[in-house]
């Protein structure tokens, strides 16, 4: 199957760097106007950005380059690399070394989460603050209230490859949440992506006065 013109343009810029509409038109035997239509469409999608470079004479020359959003269009083997690294840590340092690696990650997350949650008052606000942090990390998190309990819902797992190779990553996260909300709520994981669920769902049952009010919204 022949590649679309837009795909050819992206591939050319990936290999040769930012380019002008004139160069691309010559490369693919198209009119400059026709190439510009493709470039503008890709810019609107966020795949390309523009840079006007000062020329030796006359008007600046416009160059089109790839944005970070374009990275998803190319092969990505991060999951394979993650799995290989975990296997290598096990071989070189043993399970104890892998546990130390996980503990180090947990400590770093604990410090960050505690600093942010300390600025929030009450269980509801702290949970919303945690959901924002987790979303920034790629978990697509949200908070809901059902049956007198709060739910932290994570609709994506950016560490799925690592968690699949080593369940202690998930155990570590559950323990961290339990520690963060100690004295405020009991925390349990009710749904788990690694076990085949669509999402990870954490149920927080408030202790005494922290019970959710009807106006608590996520």
Q: Tell me how many domains the chain contains.
A: 2
Residue 145 and residue 94 share a domain: yes
Is 217 within a domain?
Answer: no
Domain that holds residue 47: 5-73
Q: Do 69 and 118 fall into the same domain? A: no
Confidence (pLDDT) at 168: 58
Q: Are residues 30 and 126 in the same domain?
A: no
3-state SS of 84-135 is HHHHHHHHHHHHHHHHHHHHHHHHHHHHHHHHHHCCCCHHHHHHHHHHHHHH
165: in domain:
yes
Output the CA torsion 156→101→174→214 (10° steps): -60
Cβ pair 42, 48 in contact under 8 A? yes
| Residues 54 and 94 both lie in one domain | no
- Please indicate, yes or no, whether residues 99 and 198 belong to a single structural domain of this protein: yes
Look at residue 215 and tell me if it is in a domain. Answer: no
Cβ atoms of 146 and 182 closer than 8 Å: no
Domain identity same for 199 and 159: yes
Question: Which of 40, 73, 106 delimits the end of a domain?
Answer: 73
37 shares its domain with 133 = no
CATH of the domain at 37: 1.10.10.10
Tell me the pTM.
Answer: 0.57
What is the C-alpha separation between 187 and 173, in angstroms, rounded?
Answer: 11
CA distance 9 to 6: 5
* Structure confidence at residue 28 (pLDDT): 92
Tens-of-pLDDT digits for all 218 residues of the chain?
346 899 999 989 988 889 999 999 999 999 999 999 999 999 999 999 999 998 888 889 999 999 988 877 876 555 665 667 677 777 777 878 777 877 777 788 889 999 999 999 899 999 999 999 989 888 889 999 987 899 999 888 776 645 555 455 667 788 889 999 999 999 999 998 878 888 889 999 998 766 666 545 44
| Shared-domain flag, residues 134 and 178 | yes
């Amino acid at each position: 199957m022949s590649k679309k013109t837009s795909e050819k343009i992206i591939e050319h810029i990936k290999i040769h760097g930012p380019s002008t509409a004139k160069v691309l038109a010559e490369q693919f035997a198209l009119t400059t106007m026709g190439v510009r239509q493709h470039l503008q469409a890709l810019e609107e999608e966020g795949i390309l950005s523009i840079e006007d470079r000062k020329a030796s004479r006359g008007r600046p020359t416009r160059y089109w380059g790839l944005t970070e959003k374009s990275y998803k269009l190319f092969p990505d083997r991060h999951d394979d690399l993650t799995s290989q690294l975990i296997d290598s840590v096990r071989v070189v340092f043993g399970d104890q070394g892998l546990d130390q690696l996980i503990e180090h990650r947990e400590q770093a997350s604990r410090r960050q989460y505690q600093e942010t949650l300390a600025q929030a008052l009450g269980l509801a606000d702290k949970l919303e603050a945690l959901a924002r942090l987790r979303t920034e990390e790629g978990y697509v998190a949200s908070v809901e209230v059902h049956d007198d309990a709060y739910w932290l819902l994570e609709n994506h797992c950016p560490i799925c490859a690592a968690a699949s190779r080593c369940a202690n990553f998930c155990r570590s996260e559950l323990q961290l949440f339990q520690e963060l909300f100690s004295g405020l709520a009991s925390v349990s994981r009710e749904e788990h992506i690694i076990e085949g669920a669509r999402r990870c769902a954490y149920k927080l049952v408030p202790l005494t006065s922290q019970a959710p009010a009807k106006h608590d919204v996520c």
